[in-house]
């Protein structure tokens, strides 16, 4: 069979794919039978667990329940809760609101930190009220619907040019008071966490150095990240997708006490975009060129649509 691995030299992909990717290893991660996707790996944290979901409804509900439980537990313990929050996946927020309202549990002890936001090259973001902004999405899906049980406005942090650089100090101060940190995340097409892209690895001489930055303003997004978001958020219109974003870095997300991840990238009619990203996240092993590969080294759960497990082979027709 003629495949990309045998024809990449001299192609445009040779310039697009990050130089630190081991493409043969990436492909090998995807060669296993679907039933083995939850098989424990040596590099996984003892309390890390991938959880297969049969439908998008199950996925959203289970992930939402897990987030709501963290809010309830820390409330019961009298602890503050640092929550690093994504805009994608999004379906779980409806269930977080449902469970907290059903239990009559207040989220007033929660300190929310949005992990990223669209920007220009200088880190300037669109107004929070803009329909395309992540701040607006969080207000509509989570903060607003919680109403009287919600997170106080002064405890909601968004990744603007002015606020994002303060995340590290704010989180450190909260942890000094005994706060617990939970990372909620999705996995990008190019294995990013937040918008911490794989090509950033070239700037750091070691994993230890790579783990230090708390944020980046005006981060240059990978072409596949642009295309992913064109498909998932912009109705295919890639001319509207910003080429830059403000984002947290490993100095924030790697400091989490627990992670709650989600991979829901199924498109219907047998199509999907996230199967490779899921398998590589679980099997590649920690590598600064594959940011999501560090997630299994932390305690928590990664919910995923079972369909993403594949098999990742071409359709017969």
Would you kindly state where each structural domain of the chain is located, as residue ranges? 80-267+275-305
C-alpha 120/C-alpha 218 separation (Å) is 6
C-alpha 44/C-alpha 85 separation (Å) is 23
* CATH code matching the domain that covers 80-267+275-305, chosen among 3.10.105.10, 3.40.50.1360, 3.40.50.300, 3.40.50.2000: 3.40.50.1360
Model pLDDT, residue 213:
98
Per cent of the chain over pLDDT 90 is 93
Model pLDDT, residue 317:
55
Nearest of 162, 126, 147, 141 to residue 86 by alpha carbon: 141
DSSP 12-56: THHHHS-TT--HHHHHHHT-S-GGGTT---TTS-TTEEEEEESSH
pLDDT in tens, 138-159: 999 999 999 999 999 999 999 9
Model pLDDT, residue 6:
82
Calculate mean pLDDT across residues 290-298: 98
**Helix 56-77 vs helix 92-103: angle between axes, to the nearest 10 degrees?**
40
* pLDDT tops 70 at residue 9: yes
Model pLDDT, residue 263:
98
* pLDDT tops 90 at residue 132: no
* pLDDT tops 80 at residue 214: yes
Those residues with Cβ within 8 angstroms of residue 203's Cβ, 6 or more apart along the chain or in another chain: none
C-alpha 96/C-alpha 114 separation (Å) is 16
Threshold 0.75, pTM exceeds:
yes
Those residues with Cβ within 8 angstroms of residue 306's Cβ, 6 or more apart along the chain or in another chain: 34, 52, 53, 54
Calculate mean pLDDT across residues 181-210: 98
* pLDDT tops 90 at residue 4: no
C-alpha 204/C-alpha 186 separation (Å) is 24
pLDDT in tens, 157-186: 999 999 999 999 999 999 999 999 999 999
pLDDT level of residue 126 (50, 70, 90 thresholds)? confident
Check: CB of residue 68 under 8 Å from CB of residue 102. no
Nearest of 201, 190, 220 to residue 292 by alpha carbon: 190
Model pLDDT, residue 316:
61
Q: How far apart are the first and last CA of the chain?
A: 15
Task: Kindly report the average pLDDT of the chain as a whole number.
Answer: 96
pLDDT in tens, 19-65: 999 999 999 999 999 999 999 999 999 999 999 999 999 999 999 99
Calculate mean pLDDT across residues 89-110: 98
pLDDT level of residue 1 (50, 70, 90 thresholds)? low
C-alpha 168/C-alpha 171 separation (Å) is 5
- In sequence order, what are the beta bridge partners of 287? 290
Per cent of the chain over pLDDT 70 is 99
């Amino acid at each position: 069979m003629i495949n990309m691995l045998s024809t990449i030299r001299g192609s445009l992909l040779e310039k697009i794919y990050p130089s630190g990717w081991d493409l043969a290893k990436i492909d090998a991660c995807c060669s296993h039978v679907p039933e083995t996707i939850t098989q424990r790996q040596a590099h996984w944290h003892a309390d890390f667990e991938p959880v297969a979901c049969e439908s998008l409804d199950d996925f959203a509900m289970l992930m939402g329940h897990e987030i709501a439980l963290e809010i309830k537990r820390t409330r019961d313990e009298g602890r503050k809760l640092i929550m690093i929050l994504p805009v994608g996946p999004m379906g779980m927020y409806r269930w977080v609101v449902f469970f907290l309202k059903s239990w009559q549990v207040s989220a007033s002890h929660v300190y929310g930190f949005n992990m990223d936001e669209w920007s220009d090259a200088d880190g300037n973001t669109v107004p929070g009220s803009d329909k395309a902004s992540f701040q607006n999405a969080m207000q509509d899906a989570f903060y607003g619907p919680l109403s009287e049980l919600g997170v106080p406005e002064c405890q909601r942090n968004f990744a603007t040019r002015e606020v994002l650089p303060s995340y590290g100090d704010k989180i450190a101060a909260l942890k000094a008071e005994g706060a617990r940190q939970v990372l909620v995340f999705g996995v990008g097409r190019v294995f990013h966490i937040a918008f911490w892209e794989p090509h950033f690895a070239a700037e750091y001489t070691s994993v230890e150095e790579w783990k230090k930055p708390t944020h980046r303003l005006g981060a240059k997004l990978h072409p596949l990240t642009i295309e992913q978001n064109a498909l998932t958020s912009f109705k295919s219109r890639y001319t509207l997708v910003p080429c830059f974003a403000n984002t947290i870095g490993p100095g924030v997300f790697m400091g989490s006490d627990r992670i709650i991840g989600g991979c829901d990238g199924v498109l219907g009619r047998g199509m999907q975009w996230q199967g490779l990203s899921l398998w590589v996240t679980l099997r590649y092993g920690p590598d600064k060129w594959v940011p999501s590969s560090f997630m299994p080294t932390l305690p928590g759960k990664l919910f995923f649509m079972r369909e993403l497990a594949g098999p990742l082979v071409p359709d017969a027709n």
